[in-house]
Structure 1
Amino acid sequence: MIELKNIEKNFVSNKKVVTAVRDVNLTVPAGEIHGVIGYSGAGKSTLIRCVNLLEQPSKGQVLIDGKDLTKLSASGLRKVRSKVGMIFQHFNLLKTVTVYENIAIPLKLAGVPKKELDARVQKYLQIVGLEDRATNYPAQLSGGQKQRVAIARALSLEPTILLSDEATSALDPETTDSILDLLLKINRELGITILLITHEMNVIQKICDHVYVMENGSVVEQGSTIELFTNPQHATTRKFLNTISQRQLSDSLIDSLHVTGDVTRLTFIGASTGQPALAEISKRFAVTPNILAANIIELKNGIVGNITVHLEGDNAAREQALQYLEQSGIQVEQLGGLVYA
């Protein structure tokens, strides 16, 4: 388990103290995948580097399985770090040696016997799907294959925790999906706890159990992934969600729709996404639903659907229809007179 308590990290720049991370508390239970999302400069890279003390926190505690890394001796810290793997955006492979050697080098440094070393390299090459690339050099690989080598290298010391520092941000969407599928496989089959940072909401969407939203060095919102996707509270969270779902309609689209009056956002969770809810209220009540935007998002642990709708009808009929929707397990949010957030 990873636990950060009141973490603060300060840097000195031009004789001024700059706080990159302030009072962050974070807990990742064993076996889960948690994500930290934020825009550039939010402090997320500094935060994840505090987890294995690549950055020494200015204040606070870093606990791995109950041990406070900030109080360990150098040898004690090395022992804990051997159980914390890390992958990076730019792979950090040695260009002059083969894929096999890139994975084997940390094992050699750790004193792993030759026979066991070979078995581990072959094992993790197979896990990442590159068993036929052992003798290739990094220049002969695609970006996705290079990242798979980096993942195999991180796994070779058989860590219980894997840290991911923007590991997919240099990859195209299709390759990103394949790497995320691999991380899910690693988590599921090897039981490795994963903490990742990203600025891509689709990464959070696909593999995370829990998410932390950072801004200006602080965590401004956190919760289970499904909670944040269905009921975001902070403006930054809503901005991120708008990158994958049309929660906000443009002014030009609003003008082209010629809609007047209140607009409602309906959020469907899990089984409710399969309900013909709008068809039902049009039959039961004197309302006509006018769909302005809609989408369905598949999360790791559930499905969320959003429909932005204008109900045409008198006030009493609209109120009855909305009450029926709420009773059916659908979240109803009145957006007002075409005011979107």
Structure 2
Amino acid sequence: MIELKHITKTFETGKKKVTALDDVSLTVKKGEIYGVIGYSGAGKSTLVRMANLLEAPTSGDVIIDGDSLVTLSKEALRKKRQRIGMIFQGFNLLKTLTVYQNIAIPLKLTGVADKEIKTRVKKYLDIVGLSDKADVYPNQLSGGQKQRVAIARALSHEPEVLLSDEATSALDPDTTDQILELLLKINRELGITILLITHEMHVIQRICDRVAVMEQGEIIEQGPVVDLYTEPKHHTTKRFVDSIFPSQTPTHIIKDLQIEGPILDLTFVGSAAESPSLSVISNRYQIETNILSGNIVELKDHTFGKLRAHVKGSVKETTKAIDYLTGQGVIVREVNSNDGIY
């Protein structure tokens, strides 16, 4: 559905050239929610603006549903953009227009008939849960309600693709969760493909199928969300995962505990996260377990957990316990002193 092929984008500031994107490629499949995460300055906002050519690449190609946007005429590009909705952090609502007008006027400007406009505005306000707010003004709405209006406006053009540029960053945690649930509903019920950017791992965790991690204009790691949670390879990816699963343990504590047995990082996915494995090994083998840190969360389609635990016992009994955990689908990694405080 969305293909970005070897995208490079440079900006000139005076005599200096700044490379915002450096040979970036990714593919978003039809019907999925694909997340791009990175810290400030990583290039993710520039990347998402490539998907509808709000920013033209210096080199590379942007393909939407088989059409190369960089080769389209201005008129053809304008029509193609009508099939690509976009929502922003700042809502971009006109304060002097009602909710109805904020959605209706862009439709009128693209030539949609008045009767169809009424039908669409009602339909998409119902979908976002604001059917009773058609005649109010933006300043009478909460931040979450304003974002719902912005989403309804984007959906009213009945796009195949929805782009989200940090759409939840200005919202409180509860409202963020409500908007994420709405995006999930839109994806599942309307079949709309979503490409979103964020700096919050919580957003990736809740609704994304796949994710790309960006740093300094490059994609440093990408794949299914559960894979990046399970085996993050790049240091930046590990930092994002650790924001959900804090596992830092002071180095001196690791050294002291390891005298009596190993410290293990345990990763649980799916049914393994729902099984009382630690309780079983404590009862079955002559060992004691002590959980040092960890968390269990719900990804979009998986239960996922990470625990750091100290196992006290003989080498023989500890080995049996580790073999049991591995047999239950738990990923086991022994911690050393370099895995303490970063």
* Deviations, residues 290-336 of structure 1 (Å, cap 9, x unaligned): 11112101000101111101111122221221122111111001122
Distance of 2:12 and 2:273 partners within structure 1: 51
Q: Which residue of 1 aligns with 2:263?
A: 263
The residue identity in structure 2 corresponding to 1:96 is T
Query: Equivalent residue of 1:93, what SS?
Result: coil
Name the structure 2 match of 1:20: 20
Q: Residues 273-284 of structure 1 correspond to what in structure 2 (within 5 A)?
A: 273-284=273-284
Structure 1 residue 248: Cα displacement: 2.6
Contact 1:297–1:304, Cα closer than 8 Å, also in 2: yes
Whole-Å separation in 1 of the counterparts to 2:76 and 2:151? 24
C-alpha separation in 2, matches of 1:337 and 1:285: 26
Aligned residues: 339
Q: Deviations for 1:34-64, whole angstroms, at most 9, x for unmatched residues?
A: 0000000000000000110000001111000
Per-residue deviation at 1:9? Answer: 0.5
**1:156 and 2:156 matched:** yes
Match of 1:67 in 2: 67
Residue identity matched to 1:45: S
- TM-score, structure 1 as length reference: 0.96
2:257 aligned partner, one-letter code:
V
- Secondary structure of 1:195's aligned partner: strand
Q: Report SS of the residue matched to 2:87.
A: strand
User: Would you say the 8 A contact 2:163–2:195 is kept in 1?
Assistant: yes
2:204 aligned partner: 204
1:259 is aligned with what amino acid? L
Provide the rounded CA distance (Å) in 1 between the counterparts of 2:153 and 2:255: 54
Conserved? CA contact 1:46–1:55, under 8 Å = yes
- Distance between the aligned counterparts of 1:324 and 1:338, measured in 2? 26
Q: Output the amino acid matched with 1:325.
A: L
Counterpart residue number, 1:32? 32
Task: Give the Cα–Cα distance (whole angstroms) in 2 for the partners of residues 49 and 338 of structure 1.
Answer: 40
Which residue number corresponds to residue 102 of structure 1? 102
Name which of structure 1's ranges 308-317 and 209-218 shifts more when overlaid on structure 2.
Answer: 308-317
Can you list the C-alpha shifts for 1:258-316, whole angstroms capped at 9, x where unaligned? Answer: 63343111111101112121122123322211111121010001011111011111222
- Please report how far the alpha carbon of residue 255 of structure 1 lies from its aligned counterpart in structure 2 after TM superposition: 4.5
Q: 1:257 to 1:172 in 2, by over 3 A?
A: farther
Q: For the Cα contact (< 8 Å) 1:263–1:337, is it kept in 2? A: no
Contact 2:162/2:192, CA 8 A, preserved across alignment: yes
Which residue in the other structure is 1:48 paired with? 48
Counterparts of 1:212 and 1:320 in 2: how far apart (Å)? 38
**Quick check: 1:231 aligned with 2:196?**
no
Q: Which residue of 2 aligns with 1:132?
A: 132
Contact 1:241–1:247 (Cα < 8 Å) also in 2: no
SS at match of 2:163: strand
Q: Which runs of 4+ in 1 moved over 6 A?
A: none
Given that residues 248 and 339 in structure 2 are in contact (C-alpha distance below 8 angstroms), is that contact kept between their aligned partners in structure 1? no
Structure 2 stretches of 5 or more lacking a match? none
User: For residue 93 of structure 2, what is the aligned residue in structure 1?
Assistant: 93
Q: Which moved more, 1:60-69 or 1:314-323?
A: 314-323
Q: Cα gap change, 1:147/1:286 in structure 2, threshold over 3 Å: closer, same or farther?
A: same
Whole-Å separation in 1 of the counterparts to 2:165 and 2:47: 10
The within-5 A match list for 1:278-317 is: 278-317=278-317
On the 8 A contact 1:84/1:162 being kept in 2, the answer is yes
Per the alignment, do residues 216 and 337 of structure 1 end up closer, same or farther by CA in structure 2, a change over 3 Å counting?
same
Match of 2:226, SS?
helix
Kept in 2, the 8 Å contact 1:230–1:267? The answer is yes
Deviations 1:83-102, CA, capped at 9 Å, x for gaps:
00000000000011100000
